[in-house]
Structure 1
């Protein structure tokens, strides 16, 4: 029964993406794009339905261990979405998300909190309570996931219209843009020309963070050939370093989650080489000791420096 449920949800996600591409008049020239998105959707919805079926941490971990390793990070996002949904709609004394994450490594926490942000958009719930109750390291991933799903489900307003939720101020707006950038990789079907035009339509002060998000999604999801990755690096222009940093973050997370993927390392290496720093290591992404808005991907610094 749970298998039927996640397959149905994954099919619905595929239909949503197809509708997005049609609505944006994006011609998919690479069959790997919808195929890859379908795989990612399956991983996420397996995690979601596992959480809905049995919220007890031990049972949930057992279900997660049965999911294909390469999709583990996406499954954790689904877990975050499912547990947060239960917490919001059927609250109980102990917060389910917190109970699941007790003692978990930072990388696990980040993925789960990304899923919390996805849930808020899906269920049209306010983000403010999650910003006031959590410390910044936890709230940044929530905002990132919030930005991603705003792009996927509300692209007319937030991609074409370039809106920013009025609830977000300061550095939170930059984190939102990083999540928005992740959605653009999928919304524009990995079409480099389309992506460049879409990102270029935003104000210059927003483009660095959006390119960072594109780099993260390109590396974590991929679905493209080397020529596309190289063209993307060229299209990023002066924002190539931000694109490469995003790809480096994805590579680091896969390493910390214990599910490395060859394509993620490949994208990371190609973009770092193009950025002119063949020795770049993900641990070298700077820790931010100045103002929070001085560094791209600052909200991941604990993981990157682990």
Structure 2
């Protein structure tokens, strides 16, 4: 059971829920329904973070996380990923992140790796986790989480001055690729900054230099699928507005579908987004991600295996769409 020390950790290190409200963040409000959805996600993230900080063990953290409603449970695991890293960075603490990934968290490993990046954004570099000990493929999601955090909490620097790209180095390899992974997280955050309004989000992406659009759309594709907050017409408009980056958007969407399928948190919106954004079923989109996932990640390769995976998924979804169109003629 959680101890008194756990309650103190939770109180001292958990950010207030008010930090995730649309008013405090200054984000666009499309309507009350979308606002409530995004604020619920933020609240759930912090709930997961608090569980990881308060619990006496990884097993207890997991038991608490499993009580969160399925539609937002992944966000709780994302928050727990951040909380586990912060917990392990405290003197005399350790093992929370490893324990989380070894239990039920292995089904939410996409989200937990994103949570690692949130912690990296908050902790001094000497307290960062040993990224070399994490999954060589999914560790790039930590930079996605880092980018999301920066765009979400430092919106003026990362969103409202889109011409600036902030330098970043880490020990995960392929430092030339880190801006791409961070942009994928920024793109995901733009879905929140834009209040799930496809027109606003598209405008935010287009304000960035052109060479960054593909990664930004990929991140936004993941968010519009995993977080939701839109109907079918809005999704279709967003996909059409992506233009040449249509299949980068689909790749991000497919990753979101696979994350929900793997964690058994598929909701009706998952099927809708798969059909509209990926152009296929949720089952097929998830299968494409699994089938094309690299078996190894060579640190000496010109690009990380993660980027090869992303490109292969994008190309396969595009090919499936062409085949379908040909069959319909």
Residue of structure 1 aligned with 2:270, choices 258, 261, 264 = 264
Matched ranges for 1:114-125 at <5 A: 114-123=114-123, 125=125
Cα deviation 1:158-205 (Å, max 9, x = unaligned): 223332333262222211111111000010112222222221122222
For residue 164 of structure 1, what is the aligned residue in structure 2? 166
Q: RCO (CA 8 Å, sep 6+): is it higher in 1 or 2?
A: 1
Closer, same or farther in 2 for the Cα pair 1:278/1:139, shift >3 Å?
closer
168-177 or 225-234, which deviates more: 168-177
Cα deviation 1:187-242 (Å, max 9, x = unaligned): 01122222222211222222111100000000000111222111111110111111
For residue 214 of structure 2, what is the aligned residue in structure 1? 208
For residue 178 of structure 1, what is the aligned residue in structure 2? 184
Which runs of at least 4 in structure 1 moved beyond 6 Å after TM superposition?
none
291-300 or 44-53, which deviates more: 291-300
Normalising by structure 1, we get a TM-score of 0.82
Q: Please report how far the alpha carbon of residue 298 of structure 1 lies from its aligned counterpart in structure 2 after TM superposition.
A: 3.4
Cα deviation 1:51-91 (Å, max 9, x = unaligned): 11114022122211221122211111111111111112334
Closer, same or farther in 2 for the Cα pair 1:106/1:76, shift >3 Å?
same
Calculate the aligned-residue CA RMSD, in Å.
Answer: 3.1
For the 8 Å contact 2:148–2:189, the answer to whether it is kept is yes
For residue 309 of structure 2, what is the aligned residue in structure 1? 298
Matched ranges for 1:182-193 at <5 A: 182-193=188-199
249-258 or 277-286, which deviates more: 277-286
Closer, same or farther in 2 for the Cα pair 1:106/1:209, shift >3 Å?
farther
Closer, same or farther in 2 for the Cα pair 1:296/1:193, shift >3 Å?
farther
Closer, same or farther in 2 for the Cα pair 1:44/1:145, shift >3 Å?
same
Closer, same or farther in 2 for the Cα pair 1:48/1:187, shift >3 Å?
same
For residue 304 of structure 1, what is the aligned residue in structure 2? none
For residue 18 of structure 1, what is the aligned residue in structure 2? 23
Closer, same or farther in 2 for the Cα pair 1:287/1:100, shift >3 Å?
closer
Matched ranges for 1:212-231 at <5 A: 212-231=218-237
Which ranges in structure 1 are unaligned for 5 or more consecutive residues?
A: 302-306
Larger Rg: 2
Matched length: 290
Distance 2:66 2:79 in 1: 14
Normalising by structure 2, we get a TM-score of 0.77
Cα deviation 1:234-270 (Å, max 9, x = unaligned): 1101111111111111111111101111112211211
